[in-house]
């Protein structure tokens, strides 16, 4: 189903309007602020919600697998729909797509805050994740449009990633605070004012040009089915064992994954052009982004439960454990572009991945007898490594593709990242069902191995400068 607007006159008018509006004072800054605000709230809804999960279980009931679905229903839709969302951003214009996504996200957040049951909350999280999928590629396309000069664009992307890094690291603090002082529902309701502020700033941003794009229905269906069925197999398999429905789900994941590749290879206008993977500047960030989010999102999920369920801390106390990591993460994230300018993306990416791997390694020493302040400090390398590598990975992807592919390339990177988070929550959650301490150690060991493998791949494939 084509979503492009035909006619040369329409295209020229859109481009001319964009040039005029870009010259308006504050237009580029408004676009950047809107993008950062949106990225902040959608990222908080990963880490901030994790810290509130024990309170959700106490209020609405449910098992550990039910809590995994509250976390993963958001992340799954975030990942699975982002490729089509990239095409939507290119087709209708980044500003319009971003406005649609942000408005839907605010409404879904209010529905989460009012959810009477775990099932309703999970359904509202599905809508939230779908809206977030639209927001991420369109926000990056907005920044690319607002800052055409590479140096300014790199600084804009750095600020965008700072917003996400602060949200990832500070989300548990904010989530713990509002859960303790008010309710877990406030974690979602607080998205509304930030989202509305983002929409107001968006009004001052320049209109976006539209590019040719086609929705790939078979590709989108298989893109949703493959990770969803895989996550179902891991979560339910960890809870119930290798039952018939778990084996069927695993089979569906394999078949739909293979079907996705086949469909995309044969379509004239695929949702995901497979030739993108021939570029190392795309392939390396996709793999590294998967590894980083798997380690970080999975780690935050495990640690949030560990601090509250195993150590008996309150939601606020558990959230405060993440403060040192939040401070360092934000600082390192902003310094990353300067490091790239001096040392090149290869060195920064490899250093970030290895630092995050070291972070997972040192967390193997954390147990119920570890004092609070050493445990908080030991989390710093995991956050610092990710915040060092991600701006470099994002800039590398956008610099490796033509402007008309910016939305699709950004969507691919973030699809990989969110898939990593969804898979790790499913796998790590399954490992925790037996001996929690042993499952936590195994989770961090797996994450460390994945990060080291990604670092070795980046070192081998990327040029030195």
pTM for this structure? Answer: 0.75
d(CA 419, CA 304): 20
Computed from CA positions of residues 386, 388, 391, 395, in that sequence, does the dihedral angle turn out positive or negative?
Answer: negative
Q: Kindly state the tokens that stand for 314.
A: 């309150």
Fold classification of 9-201+271-461 is Growth Hormone; Chain: A; (1.20.1250)
What's the pLDDT tens digit per position in 257-301? 888 888 888 877 777 778 778 888 888 999 999 999 999 988 988
- Per-domain residue ranges of the chain: 9-201+271-461
Q: How far apart are CA 22 and CA 205, in angstroms?
A: 8
CB 201 within 8 A of CB 30: yes
More confident residue, 379 or 148: 379
Q: In the chain, pLDDT over 70 holds for what percent of residues?
A: 89
Kindly indicate the confidence band of residue 11, based on its pLDDT and cuts at 50, 70 and 90: very low
CA pair distance 155, 422, nearest whole angstrom: 29
Distances (CA, A) of 312 to 31, 273, 315, 366, 370: 43, 49, 9, 15, 13
């Amino acid at each position: 189903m084509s979503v492009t607007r035909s006619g040369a006159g329409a295209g020229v008018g859109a481009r001319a309007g964009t040039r005029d509006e870009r010259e308006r004072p504050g237009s580029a800054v408004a676009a950047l602020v809107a993008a950062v605000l949106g990225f902040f709230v959608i990222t908080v809804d990963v880490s901030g919600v994790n810290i509130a999960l024990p309170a959700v279980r106490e209020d609405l009931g449910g098992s550990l697998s039910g809590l995994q679905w509250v976390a993963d229903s958001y992340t799954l839709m975030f990942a699975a729909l982002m490729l089509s969302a990239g095409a939507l951003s290119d087709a209708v214009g980044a500003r319009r797509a971003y406005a649609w996504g942000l408005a839907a996200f605010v409404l879904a957040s209010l529905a989460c805050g009012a959810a009477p049951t775990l099932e309703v909350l999970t359904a509202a999280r599905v809508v939230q994740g779908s809206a977030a999928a639209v927001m991420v590629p369109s926000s990056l396309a907005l920044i690319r449009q607002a800052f055409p000069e590479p140096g300014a664009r790199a600084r804009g992307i750095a600020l965008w990633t700072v917003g996400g890094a602060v949200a990832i690291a500070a989300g548990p603090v904010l989530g713990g605070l509002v859960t303790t002082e008010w309710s877990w529902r406030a974690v979602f309701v607080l998205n509304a004012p930030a989202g509305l502020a983002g929409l107001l700033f968006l009004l001052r941003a320049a209109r976006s040009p539209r590019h040719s794009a086609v929705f790939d229905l078979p590709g989108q269906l298989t893109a949703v089915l493959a990770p969803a069925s895989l996550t179902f197999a891991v979560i339910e398999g960890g809870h119930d064992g290798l039952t018939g429905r778990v084996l069927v789900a695993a089979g569906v994941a394999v078949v739909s994954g293979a079907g996705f590749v086949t469909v995309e290879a044969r379509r004239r206008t695929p949702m995901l052009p497979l030739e993108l993977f021939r570029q190392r500047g795309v392939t390396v960030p996709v793999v590294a982004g998967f590894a980083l989010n798997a380690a970080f999102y999975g780690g935050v999920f495990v640690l949030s439960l560990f601090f509250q369920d195993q150590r008996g801390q309150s939601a606020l106390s558990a959230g405060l454990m993440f403060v040192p990591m939040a401070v360092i993460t934000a600082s390192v994230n902003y310094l990353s572009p300067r490091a790239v300018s001096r040392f090149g993306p290869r060195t920064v990416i490899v250093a970030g991945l290895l630092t995050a791997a070291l972070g997972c390694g040192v967390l193997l020493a954390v147990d119920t007898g570890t004092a609070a302040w050493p445990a908080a400090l030991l989390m710093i390398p995991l956050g610092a490594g990710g915040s060092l590598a991600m701006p470099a990975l994002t800039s590398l992807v956008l610099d490796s593709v033509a402007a008309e592919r910016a939305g699709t390339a950004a969507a691919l990177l973030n699809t990989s990242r969110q898939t990593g988070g969804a898979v790790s929550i499913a796998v790590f959650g399954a490992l925790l069902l037996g001996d929690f301490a042993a499952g936590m150690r195994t989770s961090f060991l797996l994450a460390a191995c994945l990060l080291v493998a990604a670092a070795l791949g980046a070192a081998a494939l990327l040029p030195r400068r």
